[in-house]
Chains A and B, each alone.
Chain A
Amino acid sequence: MMTKLAPSPFLSIRGLRKSYGSLEALRGINLDLAPGEFLCLFGPNGAGKSTLLKIIATLLRPSSGKIRILDDDLENNPQEYRARLGMVSHQSFVYQDLTLLENLEFYAALYGVKDPRQRSLELLEQVNLADHYEMLAGNLSRGMQQRLTIARALLNDPELLLLDEPYTGLDEHAARVLRGQLQWLHDQQRTIIMVTHNLRRGMEAATRMGILVRGKLVYLQQKENIDPASFEELYFQKLEAV
């Protein structure tokens, strides 16, 4: 009888640990993510959410453990690995003294995008900033800056998108626009990891949800197996248990 092989994970994390002296920020994270999954990780401040994202983004070195995107190993092939990533943080990653178009063109050129100007204009159109392309990024509102950040993160057409508290500082309207863009990205089959402590925002978007407490992944479940009404209660139970 033929056995059906499970598809190989897009992102694989094994035994990931990070310590700062005696403080253990991550304590043995194991995680597999299928292509096109949208994982939302919840956790209180200091749970290790941003540390995990920074390690996946290669901004921090893990104390031990392995991360792979398909065949690219973070340690052995960091440049190839990074070329497949995009990141949106609560920091905008844009230069205040460059225009919107100059910002995107610069990053597109760094990523070796074929026609940086054309790609930048396309993305500005997508995030509804095309009319402001000559404006200095420093003159944008917080919501507009966040849209520019999303455009920047998509320049290299990333297969894995990392979102670190992307709703921070956004008003309701800007948050709604961002929500729409995340849905669009998910529809485009991008694999997404978002970390947040905003349960409502996270639950809106994700297909899988996890809870990280004191550096440990204490809960991980597909969204269809979760009762949204009782998730908040479950979240606080997990926090108190640890």
Chain B
Amino acid sequence: MSSLRQILFLLGKDLRIELRKKESLISMAFFGALILVILNIAAGIGKQVDADTGAGILWVAIIFSAVLGLGRVFAREKENGCVAALLISPISPGEIFIAKALVNFSLMLLSQLVLVPVFYVLFGSHFNADPLALVPILLLLNLGFSTTGTLVSAISAGTRRNEVLLPILLFPLILPLTALAVKATAGALATRPFSERLEQLEPMLAFCLIFSAAGYLLFPFAIRED
């Protein structure tokens, strides 16, 4: 049986449960939108914010809401010992890592389909009218966040204070990626040339590759009991 098929079965199972319950998606989208509304009130309703501040606001909403979904993906596997059932099946821990990272990536992407339009409605009247400029930044951050987050959530899922430990471990790790994403987003919102944004996109890609490889290699140790 090919690895790809096993990854797709696991991904399909998680997305089926998520689309049935919508627990993570609704909480992520609602929490992120709430952050945007609060920051809009704090900045002054109707007031224009500059591109740097706008980018920071967007990423605060995205990152904090994404943590909600991240914790849930592994909590579900821990219920009834399902993670043990996966570990004694022929699927390898590396394949479980890829499937879980893809689930987190998908959930982030789906919540961003809500959050980015809400951001544009609240803050974006004077920003770059082409939201597609944000796509490469969103994809790269989602990749780095979901791979790093999958590893960290596997570590924290085995602890009693999962919900506290997850952000404490995760945020310092993804800080460089988030800082690059904020800077690149500011460039996109201010319609700066793409070549300027490449200065952030290239290190973001390198970060994603390094953390994906590290996550894949370390995941078997994080998910096992011993």
Residues of A with Cβ closer than 8 Å to B?
Answer: 54, 57-61, 79-80, 82-83, 85, 87, 89, 91-98, 102, 106-107, 109-112, 152
What sequence of 0s and 1s flags, for each residue 77-92 of chain B, a beta carbon within 8 Å of any chain A beta carbon?
0011110111111111
A15–B91 Cα distance when bound, in Å, is 28
| Given A60-B226, A93-B81, A98-B13, 4 more pairs with CB closer than 8 A | A95-B76, A98-B17, A110-B89, A110-B90
* Most chain B CB atoms below 10 A, which of A80, A92, A95, A98: A95
What are 20 residue pairs bridging A and B, where the CB atoms are less than 8 Å apart in the complex?
Answer: A54-B225, A59-B224, A60-B226, A61-B224, A61-B226, A79-B90, A82-B88, A87-B85, A92-B80, A95-B17, A95-B82, A97-B17, A97-B76, A98-B17, A109-B5, A110-B86, A110-B89, A110-B90, A111-B89, A152-B85
Residue of B nearest to A84 (CB): B90
Residue of B nearest to A162 (CB): B88
Residues of B within 8 A of A110 (CB): 6, 9-10, 86, 89-91
A1 → chain B closest CB, angstroms: 46
* Most chain A CB atoms below 10 A, which of B6, B87, B226: B226
Residues of A within 8 A of B21 (CB): 97
B101 → chain A closest CB, angstroms: 18
* Most chain B CB atoms below 10 A, which of A59, A82, A94, A111: A59
Kindly count the residue-residue contacts between A and B in the assembled complex, taking CB atoms under 8 Å apart.
Answer: 76
Specify the main secondary structure of chain B where it touches its partner: helix
Task: Report whether A82 and B84 are in contact in the complex, using a CB–CB cutoff of 8 Å.
Answer: no
Find B88's partner among A61, A85, A97, A109 (CB 8 Å cutoff): A85
Number of interface residues of B (CB under 8 A): 27
On whether A97 and B20 interact (CB within 8 A), knowing A59-B225, A106-B13, A109-B9, the answer reads yes
B12 → chain A closest CB, angstroms: 8
A237 → chain B closest CB, angstroms: 33
Find B84's partner among A83, A89, A96, A112 (CB 8 Å cutoff): A89
Residues of A within 8 A of B42 (CB): none
- Whether a CB of chain A sits under 8 angstroms from the CB of B121 is no
A201 → chain B closest CB, angstroms: 21
Task: Report whether B80 and A112 are in contact in the complex, using a CB–CB cutoff of 8 Å.
Answer: no
Task: Report whether B84 and A59 are in contact in the complex, using a CB–CB cutoff of 8 Å.
Answer: yes
A58–B86 Cα distance when bound, in Å, is 11
A238–B141 Cα distance when bound, in Å, is 60
Residue of B nearest to A102 (CB): B16
Residues of A within 8 A of B80 (CB): 91-96
What sequence of 0s and 1s flags, for each residue 5-34 of chain B, a beta carbon within 8 Å of any chain A beta carbon?
110011001001100110000000000000
B70 → chain A closest CB, angstroms: 18
Task: Report whether B81 and A91 are in contact in the complex, using a CB–CB cutoff of 8 Å.
Answer: yes
Interface residues in B64-84 (C-beta closer than 8 Å to A): 76, 79-82, 84
- Whether a CB of chain A sits under 8 angstroms from the CB of B1 is yes
Residue of B nearest to A137 (CB): B80
Residues of A within 8 A of B224 (CB): 59-61
A170–B6 Cα distance when bound, in Å, is 33
